[in-house]
């Protein structure tokens, strides 16, 4: 009897890799590209948002974390981004992350169920 496998989509795989490296989020890439386009450094952005270090901005750009909601308006102004464009990037990134997390949880639980049955 073959085990069911989640259908693969264009941006996903049903195989779980043990410690897959975190890839830059599309939102992180968007922020980095826009920051460079407007000629600001990570430190410039951090200072304007009231942070004491550029590490926050670096973390956003590397996909380690997302900017807090309360900073999005000011960040959008600094990056010269329209609200709907920023929202669409955030939404796409959030959906990708949710799909990845759900797929991982499902596959983990499926393996546990199969082990109990076998």
Distances (CA, A) of 88 to 21, 52, 55, 82, 94: 25, 29, 25, 10, 10
CA distance 9 to 97: 14
Crossing angle, helix 26-37 and helix 72-79, to 10 degrees? Answer: 50
Q: Is there a domain that residue 106 lies in?
A: yes
- Domain count across the chain: 1
The single residue listed with the structure tokens 């000011």 is 74
pLDDT digits (tens, 9 = 90+) for 52-87: 999 999 999 998 999 999 999 999 999 999 999 999
15 in any annotated domain: no
CATH of the domain at 30: 1.10.260.40
**Residue 58 falls within a domain, yes or no?**
yes
Q: Is residue 84 part of a domain?
A: yes
Residue 109 counted as domain residue: yes
Pick the residue with more confidence: 94 or 6?
A: 94
Containing structural domain, residue 89: 26-117
Whether 6 is in a domain gets the answer no
Q: What is the pTM of this model?
A: 0.69
């Amino acid at each position: 009897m073959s085990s069911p496998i989640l259908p693969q989509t264009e941006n996903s795989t049903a195989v779980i890799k043990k410690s897959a490296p975190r890839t830059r989020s599309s939102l992180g890439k968007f922020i980095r590209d826009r920051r460079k386009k407007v000629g600001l450094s990570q430190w410039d952005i951090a200072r304007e948002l009231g942070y004491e270090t550029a590490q926050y901005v670096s973390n956003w750009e590397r996909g380690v974390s997302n900017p807090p909601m309360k900073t999005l308006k000011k960040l959008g102004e600094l990056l010269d981004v329209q609200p709907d464009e920023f929202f669409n990037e955030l939404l796409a990134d959030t959906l990708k992350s949710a799909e990845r997390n759900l797929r991982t949880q499902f596959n983990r639980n499926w393996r546990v169920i199969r082990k109990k049955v076998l």
